[in-house]
Amino acid sequence: IRCQSTSTEEPKTKRNLLDNASNLLTNLLSGGSLGSMPTAEGAVTDLFDRPLFFSLYDWFLEHGSVYKLAFGPKSFVVVSDPIVARHILRENAFSYDKGVLADILEPIMGKGLIPADLDTWKQRRRVIAPGFHALFLEAMAKIFTDCSERTISKFEKLLEREDLGEEKAIELDLEAEFSSLALDIIGLGVFNYDFGSVTKESPVIKAVYGTLFEAEHRSTFYIPYWKIPLARWIVPRQRKFQKDLKFINDCLDGLIRNAKETRQETDVEKLQQRDYLNLKDASLLRFLVDMRGADVDDRQLRDDLMTMLIAGHETTAAVLTWAVFLLAQHPSKMEKAQAEIDSVLGQGRTTFECLKKLEYIRLIVVEALRLYPQPPLLIRRSLKSDVLPGGYKGEKDGYSIPAGTDIFISVYNLHRSPYFWDQPHEFEPERFLVARKSEGIEGWAGFDPSRSPGAMYPNEIISDFAFLPFGGGPRKCVGDQFALMESTIALAMLLQKFSVELKGSPESVELVTGATIHTKNGLWCKVRKRSSIH
Ligand code: HEM
């Protein structure tokens, strides 16, 4: 599905739906086996001139929270209801697989967790998820801080230049800077490899970006021409992709070989005693190799690492990008954030303990994820026929869907649903502090923190699937806490030192989507040293 650029202005709630092309679409939509389900009647042009999730939102307001949509001969069910999402993701999770998404990602991630078939997934999830335990995360906090410091000192050096003039500001594409920062963090945290991308370019970094670029191209292109025999040798971009992939795979194979060869019993003991802070290499690869011995299949391990490299890089960079984009438009919230940072950190470093006190920064991170979820759609395909439950309004009968139905769970729609959020398009981190339940909002349970005691960040459990920043159910993101901590630390450290202003108007920041929502031409900002740090 191709999603093209648009400005960041909000989707229109009422659209002029009829044009010549819509007749064609209407005909296509009227077929299919999903009988009584409401059908979206959109203009074909809707699909081409702006990201798809904007159109899905307008159709949600018009047709309700479960509707059918067709592209050419193919139809999809679009879900924007928390109860139905909960059913697909959690209650009946094993009746669905990743469908189209797995087709796209399998050539890159192999049998990594995201595209993996159910049997492989069950085996690997059991091995990988324990690697993300609290002590690992605590050890990671140092990596998040060290890498953020590199970015800060890069900015400081640029700000020392004498030709900055009166403004004393540097102009930077912060999206690109966050992308480098997140790449360095994921490299060190997952396989103890320092890409050093904040400060330099290297062939391996180019190959990683080339591969991500191709993953995005594939997720936004209608015809999977890369499956045609010989296409990988004839089409230049496919040849380049194969070259990039081989480059990264060789690099990962080298790291795996090294991790196996350097396995030491003393490290294994430290791991067993959870003595993470005294380990020289606390990476996930070390954990996977040390705890499982030499019996780990190299190919599988490589697929796991590649999956985490891709899943954990652009997503986190996008959260930071949109958090800054939103804050820059709300000076009073920026001030509030910086006041919190000053009072918690002063001029010191961020530590794991500080995170608990950086409440407003944590809420900014989750509010950025609410408004710009990464990815904006979750994709599933039913493996057998199923009956979807009635939605949150308490309807008794849901819709029957046959095996093979492709489903988009629109996280974007859920996160901006006027049924669950006050002023859904507004940036309001404080909203998560309000116990909506006590306001007695009808038909909706509202936030209930007691469902997830001790959670540092709002999640799908306390919102009963109205807020799904990391999915939900058994295939929920394994790196959620890693990513949240990383974003909180990086944002706090950046705002501790610098003030940030958008270079142009917010409307001039154009959106594109593939797996994540990102900008078309970068997030260009004016960055200055903060004049007063209290
Ligand atoms: C899965 C979001 C960071 C590794 C997912 C899913 C979402 C998500 C929504 C569920 C996909 C689905 O159900 O189809 C995010 C966001 C991140 C982030 C928004 C950053 C802010 C990370 C990081 C890692 C990671 C840092 C690893 C270090 C994974 C893996 C899966 C996954 C392995 C597949 C889990 C499974 O199927 O068992 N992520 N993720 N993610 N994520 Fe993340």
Closest CA to 61 of 113, 17, 26, 29: 17
Q: What is the pLDDT of residues 497-508, one digit of tens each?
A: 999 999 999 999
Question: Strands, DSSP E only, in 375-488?
Answer: 377-382, 386-387, 400-401, 406-410
CB of 307 shorter than 6 A to ligand 1: yes
- By CB atoms closer than 10 A (0-12, 13-18, 19+), residue 280 is exposed
Does 12 score more than 50 pLDDT? Answer: no
How many other CB atoms are there within 10 angstroms of residue 426's CB atom? 13
CA–centroid distance, residue 476 to ligand 1 (Å): 7
CA–centroid distance, residue 39 to ligand 1 (Å): 31
pLDDT (average), residues 73-87:
91
Does 396 score more than 70 pLDDT? Answer: no
CB of 516 shorter than 6 A to ligand 1: no
Does 40 score more than 70 pLDDT? Answer: yes
Q: What is the pLDDT of residue 36?
A: 81
Q: What is the pLDDT of residue 436?
A: 46
**b or e along 511-529 (b: 16 or more beta carbons within 10 Å of the residue's beta carbon)?**
bbbbbbbbbeebbbbbbbe
CB of 125 shorter than 6 A to ligand 1: yes
Q: What is the pLDDT of residue 220?
A: 66
Q: Are strands 524-529 and 498-502 parallel, antiparallel or unpaired?
A: antiparallel
Q: Which residue, by CA, sits nearest to atom 9 of ligand 1?
A: 470
CB of 116 shorter than 6 A to ligand 1: no
CA distance 489 to 452: 23
Say which residues have a Cβ less than 8 Å from residue 43's Cβ, sequence separation at least 6: 17, 18, 19, 21, 22, 25
Closest CA to 248 of 210, 286, 204, 285: 204
In the structure, what pLDDT confidence band is assigned to residue 439 with cuts at 50, 70 and 90? low
pLDDT (average), residues 41-46:
64
Phi, psi of 274 (to 5 degrees): 55, 35
pTM of the predicted protein model: 0.89
CB of 471 shorter than 6 A to ligand 1: yes
Q: What is the pLDDT of residue 441?
A: 47
**Contact present, 365 and 491 (Cβ < 8 Å):** yes
CA distance 161 to 178: 22
pLDDT (average), residues 88-98:
96
In the structure, what pLDDT confidence band is assigned to residue 400 with cuts at 50, 70 and 90? very high
CB of 90 shorter than 6 A to ligand 1: no
In the structure, what pLDDT confidence band is assigned to residue 24 with cuts at 50, 70 and 90? very low
CB of 482 shorter than 6 A to ligand 1: yes
CA–centroid distance, residue 30 to ligand 1 (Å): 35
Q: Are strands 66-71 and 74-79 parallel, antiparallel or unpaired?
A: antiparallel
pLDDT (average), residues 397-412:
92
Phi, psi of 91 (to 5 degrees): -70, -40
Tokens describing residue 479: 């790196």
CA–centroid distance, residue 442 to ligand 1 (Å): 32
More confidently predicted of 245 and 17: 245
Does 191 score more than 80 pLDDT? Answer: yes
